[in-house]
Structure 1
Amino acid sequence: MALLSVIVPCYNEEENVALFYRELLKVHPFFSENDIELELLYIDDGSVDKTASEVKKLREEDDRVHLISFSRNFGKEAAMYAGLENSKGDYVVMMDVDLQDPPSLLPEMFSYMREGYDSVATRRVSRKGEPPVRSFFARAFYRLMKKISRTEIMDGARDYRLMTRQMADAILSMQEYNRFTKGIFGWVGFQTKWLEYENVERAKGETKWNFWKLFLYSLDGIAAFSTVPLMLASVMGVFFCVVAFLMIIFIIVRKLIFGDPVSGWPSLVCIILMTSGVQFFCTGILGQYLAKTYMEVKKRPIYLVREKF
């Protein structure tokens, strides 16, 4: 009999804990027919509401429910890593507790696994209910990543993914502190089937991902899986050196031939400001990579556990 580990990161999701559990049980007949046992791991990412208490109530009714509570909020990436590290299943699936990842897709996902795939990943084909500005920048990010990174990151990809134990262990072997799981999925490889579905809105509550958090998360992804920005900084530096050299020659020739005095301090100030801005921009790119390296060499734990059931 196979064991399926269901990893569910939670942050202030007390309203959705029981709802998700009931929705998952609706798929239980499929699991019974296919000799699949369940273990349900709720990862409480330092919630300040009653998320942990709601999970404990479920634990009293069903010993397949497990709880891991962090000492503080470490982020969803850390929660997913903790779930993988503590899972014991032959198969592992990561799902959001807000029901934007429908449990009803699991039978279809397992059907593809039987065809020999190592993982079945999901992607949204629409962004219904999402602010237009957010959708625009999300799509722009995925287009950018396709151009600057060799790692496959699919547009609209969700963290909702069913995978074999082998792939889960491969992901765990990447113990980097600055984690961008969507990129890690692509980097480890393995045969993946993409399953498309329409966007599903949250069951209850509000998303914890605002525009600023998503922007910072996208910077993490770019720094983790592409060195093109560093190359861009070098190219811009060479370009402005060449332009400066050509302008010097132009000014000397104009003075020798036409005798024009060197004037125009407003334009000179504008040029200085522009080149200074480019220098600061390139320094910022270097700073991003240096900051990530700094956090990696500290070797801090990805998460700390406060209680575990």
Structure 2
Amino acid sequence: MAGSSRDTLLDDSSPVHRDRPLITLIIPVFNEEQSIPVFLDRTTAALEPLRGRFDVEYLFVNDGSRDATERTILASRKDRPEISLVNLSRNFGKEAALSAGLTHARGDAAIPIDVDLQDPPEVILQMVRKWQDGAKVVNARRARRDADTWAKRTSAGLFYRLFNVLADHPIPTGVGDFRLLDREVVDAICAMGERSRFNKAIFSWVGFETTEVEYDRPARAEGDSQWSYWKLWKLALDGIFASSTTPLRIWTYVGLSMAVASLFYSAFLFFRTLLLGVDTPGYASTAILILTFGGMNMFALGIIGEYVGRIYTEVRQRPLYIVRSYIQQKEN
């Protein structure tokens, strides 16, 4: 459930009836002042073929930026009245910022997109055509991502494979948050009240008619990525533990296997002692058994702790994010 402040800022102009479908671009930003002007110029040019047939809303979600991101967006609104801005009270993370964007999106379709232009806005035209043909979800699959480092490509591939082995509902490989979501899909996602969110898994879980387009992932246009490997690791853990109970189930089978093996080994020792007598006790074998089983127990407790921590988060029922202000796009 999303939180909001009482200090919501709206333009004086009241909403009017739209004759054209509205497409909302959801753009989470955190310390991206350099990227915003470049993003707006390229995206506006790329979406020019839609002019006259669709309206476009640029919904920026400022996730507690500490630079001039907010001022840059507000300055851009002077020439682009189609810009809306949601300011969060602090940095809540991209998953929360994206959820805030989905909650505030007013379009007939919503498209999460990164401001660094690694999600090429030209692909949006293909998405819209698929949407007009009847698709409710249009995924953008990365056919090539040569601009990313070898480590990032390899770790991403391993994560998708591991996640799809463990998850009850797999996610499409090579697809990030960049996709088109129909209004019906957005409403279904916003109705979900969970706080430990991994949006890629939620997008797949809700279902609906899905298709995809492919694109080559380019390098960042401006600025530096805010994603460290530690943040990506934590996101991967959140994705797995928030979307599947398979890690817990695995340890049920591991425990059962160990119990059966222990039973057979105990029987073996019992009958060998009856037949051959008692051997001299061995320190090494005893230490190995203690350390092995102790390590496995600690690992299992760590997995249980990950789930207990998320249960604690859900029980507290704190909002997923807090909105400091909301500036809505100016109606024509």
Give, in whole Å, the separation in 1 of the partners of 2:147 and 2:123. Answer: 21
Q: What SS does the aligned partner of 2:227 have? A: coil
Give, in whole Å, the separation in 2 of the partners of 1:207 and 1:297. Answer: 33
Give, in whole Å, the separation in 1 of the partners of 2:193 and 2:140. Answer: 24
Give, in whole Å, the separation in 1 of the partners of 2:51 and 2:223. Answer: 32
Match of 1:31 in 2: 50
Higher relative contact order structure (alpha carbons within 8 Å, sequence separation ≥ 6):
2
Match of 1:91 in 2: 109
Deviation, 1:283, is: 0.9
| TM superposition score normalised by structure 1 | 0.96
Tell me the matched-pair count. Answer: 308
Asked if the contact 2:137/2:210 (under 8 Å) is kept, the reply is: yes
- Identity of counterpart residues, as a percentage? 36
Give, in whole Å, the separation in 2 of the partners of 1:89 and 1:112. Answer: 17
Give, in whole Å, the separation in 1 of the partners of 2:214 and 2:80. Answer: 32
Instruction: Give the AA of the match of 2:48.
Output: P
Deviation, 1:201, is: 1.0
Normalized per residue, the structure richer in helix is: 1
Asked if the contact 1:251/1:262 (under 8 Å) is kept, the reply is: no
Q: Which consecutive unaligned segments of at least 5 residues does structure 1 have?
A: none
Deviation, 1:262, is: 4.2
- Residue-by-residue CA offset, 1:50-73 (whole Å, 9 max, x unaligned): 110100101122221111111110
**The 10-residue stretch of structure 1 (258-267 or 89-98) with the greater mean CA deviation from structure 2:** 258-267
- Residue-by-residue CA offset, 1:81-138 (whole Å, 9 max, x unaligned): 1111111111111100000111111111111111110021112122313232332221
Give, in whole Å, the separation in 2 of the partners of 1:199 and 1:87. Answer: 25
Task: Work out whether 1:4 is the aligned partner of 2:23.
Answer: yes
- Residue-by-residue CA offset, 1:131-165 (whole Å, 9 max, x unaligned): 32332221111112222223130111121111211
Aligned counterpart for 1:137 among listed residues 155, 158, 169? 155
Give, in whole Å, the separation in 1 of the partners of 2:187 and 2:280. Answer: 67
Task: Work out whether 1:288 is the aligned partner of 2:306.
Answer: yes
Aligned counterpart for 1:73 among listed residues 91, 105, 108? 91
Deviation, 1:36, is: 0.5
Give, in whole Å, the separation in 2 of the partners of 1:32 and 1:137. Answer: 40
Give, in whole Å, the separation in 2 of the partners of 1:237 and 1:117. Answer: 45
**The 10-residue stretch of structure 1 (180-189 or 223-232) with the greater mean CA deviation from structure 2:** 223-232
Aligned counterpart for 2:216 among listed residues 189, 198, 209? 198
CA-atom RMSD in angstroms: 1.3
Aligned counterpart for 1:44 among listed residues 34, 47, 62? 62
Q: Which consecutive unaligned segments of at least 5 residues does structure 2 have?
A: 1-19, 328-332
Asked if the contact 1:113/1:120 (under 8 Å) is kept, the reply is: yes
Match of 2:37 in 1: 18
Instruction: Give the AA of the match of 1:242.
Output: V
Taking the TM superposition and a 5 Å limit, the aligned residue runs for 1:293-308 are 293-308=311-326
| TM superposition score normalised by structure 2 | 0.90
Give, in whole Å, the separation in 2 of the partners of 1:244 and 1:282. Answer: 18
